[in-house]
Structure 1
Amino acid sequence: MGEITRIFKTLIGYLKRPGLYPELGRKIIKNTVNRGNAFKGKDKTNSWAAQKAVSQKGAVFMLFGLDIEAFRSDYADVLKTAEQRERECPIKMGGPGALELLYYACEFTNAKHVVETGVAYGWSSLASLLSLSKRGGTLYSSDMPYLAQDGDQYVGCVVPQNLKTGWKLFRFADKESLPKIFAENAVFDVLHYDSDKSYNGRMWAYEVLYQHLKKGGVFISDDIGDNSAYQDFCEKNNIETRVIGYEGKYIGVFVK
């Protein structure tokens, strides 16, 4: 798909959905007035993250006292089916990520309520739901429609039907989805951030999400090397965080 075609299809997609108009306005501002903020502090944070980075296995053991080895064998069939569903999907979205981190964060907290931003194929959703289903818990997800690809029907496609009873998907930008989610449930055991990658978008969401995370809950943010928002947030709030080096990127995680 050419860049002009993609932009045109995205604009038409926004215009067809009044519920997304506020996000359209924010996108225009972000890509014009605030364009320079997207990668604010990137070099600083990549240097900081590289010094702190440990493996996913090491971080899960240090934070939760748990070994991640059993996950891939315990859920081998589920993961194999999910991989097949991803291969069959006609559009390209984000890959699996650190599934063990999410699963064992839920196990560590005995989670019943989890919130995530960003779904794509639904790999992170799957990891959380595999744990939540043991306790009859609920995953609340915020995810923008894939407007340029007509991809709405494929969001969360790797999540099996039997797990969807514990899943509530809100199809708006975070600034519209999160208030709706918090109106349904105010306190969460685990939160996972993987949506708006801009500096300003992250700083807004981190503050809001942190307020709704219980003491002893787990905070996870993907792709923290894109800018310094995660580092700045942790330093501002005197948070001691772990950093995971994973597939050439960095993930931030801490227990509140």
Structure 2
Amino acid sequence: MTEREPAPGDGEVAGGAEVLQDTPHRRIERVGATVRRPAQPWTPAVRALLRHLETVGFRYAPRALGADAVGRETLGYLAGEAGPAGWARIVPDDGLRAFARLLRDYHRAVADFHPAPDLAWCDGSTGRGPRQLVCHGDFGPWNVVWRGGRPVGLLDWDYARPADPRHDIGYALEYAAPARDDAECLRWLAYPKPPDRRRRIEVFAEAYGLDTTEGLVDAIIDAQERTVALVRQLAAAGHQPQADWLADGHLTELTHRTAWTRAHRHLLE
């Protein structure tokens, strides 16, 4: 749901399994051509989504393979470069366009997916509204798998849920514009100079297929606010890592990001 630095233990090999992520509440391992990760209450809904994407030929999603002997969700492994390295991939215009087109292609693939009414998503919602589709919910550069300079996969579907497609667009643009100050862009996000955020939003919008950028800054702010609300909701229900994020003050950081976007929207539109 939010970008992360590599955790201690990431990439290590233990007992024949490669540890892809090892945090207190989420250990993810690669075993052969599969990935094993803890199941969540909303895993059945995500599994139905991934199987729909496989059926319609959306090749960027991992295959849903059920559960292993200890109840972990089992997915097909997508080889390539992901995680923090993804930030640098969307700095050039070609990478930015590829990022936008991946989201466009996902939205097209999911447009006719109507989840069964008994499937509940991470926010507790069921069904799908008339102007909604099942958004990815966490479409950030760290969740895209890259190979040879092009996207080949899309990871981490835990926050998929029904919403207006502009939620995914606004969420992606927070990181693609990006809605960050110049110092962070230069020091952490691989920009060689301060980004022209307005132009980057135009490039993203054109590649996605939008006719206008009108309303996209509001979409960014709305996505930021909804992220805060979802983290708070999941934390209140005792889910991890959101409960720890709340205890550690991470929501304050997320709220500050929204305030930055509001105060600097002149850089974005």
Is TM-score (shorter-chain normalized) higher than 0.5?
no
- When the two structures are superposed, what TM-score results if normalisation uses the length of structure 2? 0.27
Q: Which has the higher contact order (CA 8 A, sep 6+)?
A: 1
